[in-house]
Amino acid sequence: MRDVRPLPPAFFVSARDRLRSRAEAAGLDGLLMLRAPNLAYATGLFLSENERPMGVWLPVSGDPILMLPGLERENAEGAGINDLRFYEEFPGEVPAVLWMLDQIGRKHVGIDQLDALLLDAAWNRLAKLDLTDHAMLERAIKQPAEIALTVEAASFADLFLTLLHSNAGDIISQGGTETDLMANAMADARGALMAKHKAAFVGTPLGITASVHSGPRAALPHGAVMERVPQGGETLIAGIGASLGGYHAESGVTLIVGDISPEQRRIMTAMEACNDAAVDACAKRQTCTAANDTALGALRNAGLGDAIRHRIGHGMGLEGHEAPWLAPGDPTQIQANMIFSNEPGVYRPNLDGYRTINTMIVTETDVDIPSRFQSNTPIDARVIAI
């Protein structure tokens, strides 16, 4: 049994050191990080993002400064940062981000996000303003402790699918709806996650999100769960996200209610080829755009190009969807210790839809797949007997 623990204080000290090195290489005095995931990465504080700006200043040399609205005063304790500063309230006489720049008092600053309305005022305070999200660039390469959390999270996404697959036939036969299917699997999967990890991971994000939609509505990539009873011969898409200690993983599958038709098997086989092509592209360290093109090419070769509605995948970590993107327009070179979703999708309006999801971890030599449901459940077993 895996024994995973929350990230220790030493992780965040090391993260701050790596971020300092990035700032120095960019010719900056330091980084002002305002995005909540970047704040969590540098401090271990998982604070609720809202209209009140929160920031951590990480200088190339010197001590960091944590700058928060006053109502977060108590939450700031225990972050391993001694210099804590607070502003009274939002919006304030001086916008909070400009107040932070005044507190910093440096002239060469990187900021991960900035409201365009504050751009001129920020420039008036600085000699150099770098709006590159350096923290996101660093976060793209995961450390072993982050990968361990992702692997464990994936096991609970898989557990949801296992429960759904096992119980769906009985539920549908009794008139159960998509909502019933999701609630049944969610109760046990979330219960298992909380029973194993809630005590150790208190104060960090952990949970499961899911969608279950069927029939013609499965042709909607972001279909909502409804009070609809899946019918024999239809596809049923289940997409599951799980998080542990703030780190995300995904698993997903398309199940067939009743027997698989030859056409359904053909499409599911093409999707498997698409999945495998994405894995191979990541193993070969292609660019993100090339990996997307290579993977989706398998669907186009199967005559399904018109049914493609989205990219093959996205990065995962402290955000469920984060850079880099396995998509057109992202030239990032895939590297070891990047984590991506792998999401072949086929959507035929007013008829049906198909999507599978695996979590991919790029290693030094290959790609690991912590999502196990698909490999444990071959295409012909992905049926719901009614």
What are the boundaries of each domain within the chain?
9-139, 144-384
144-384 maps to CATH 3.40.190.10: no
Q: 70-84, 89-103, 159-173, 372-386: which range is least confident on average?
A: 70-84
Q: Is the dihedral of CA 162, 219, 342, 204 positive or negative?
A: negative
- Fold of the domain built from segment(s) 9-139: Creatine Amidinohydrolase; Chain A, domain 1 (3.40.350)
CA–CA separation, 139 and 324 (whole Å): 10
Summarize the confidence of residues 204-231 as an average pLDDT.
96
Query: Locate tokens 């057109």: which residue?
Result: 328
Cβ atoms of 172 and 229 closer than 8 Å:
yes
* pLDDT for the residue 215: 96
* pLDDT for the residue 232: 97
**pTM of this prediction?**
0.96
- Give the end-to-end CA distance of the chain in Å, rounded to a whole number: 35
- DSSP structure class, residue 270: H
- DSSP structure class, residue 365: S
Instruction: Inform me whether the pLDDT recorded for 79 exceeds 90.
Output: no
pLDDT band, very low/low/confident/very high, at 80 (cuts 50, 70, 90): confident
* pLDDT for the residue 1: 43
Summarize the confidence of residues 348-354 as an average pLDDT.
97
Summarize the confidence of residues 75-98 as an average pLDDT.
93
pLDDT band, very low/low/confident/very high, at 212 (cuts 50, 70, 90): very high
Q: 73-87, 88-102, 188-202, 252-266: which range is least confident on average?
A: 73-87
Q: Which residues of 101-122 are buried (b: 16+ CB within 10 A; e: fewer)?
A: bebbebebbbbbeeeeeeeeeb
pLDDT digits (tens, 9 = 90+) for 66-76: 999 999 999 99
Phi, psi dihedral angles at 108 (to 5 degrees)? -120, 95
Query: What are the start-end ranges of the E strands in the chain?
Result: 30-33, 55-59, 65-69, 83-87, 108-111, 128-130, 207-214, 235-244, 247-257, 313-315, 322-326, 339-342, 345-348, 352-355, 358-362, 367-368, 383-384
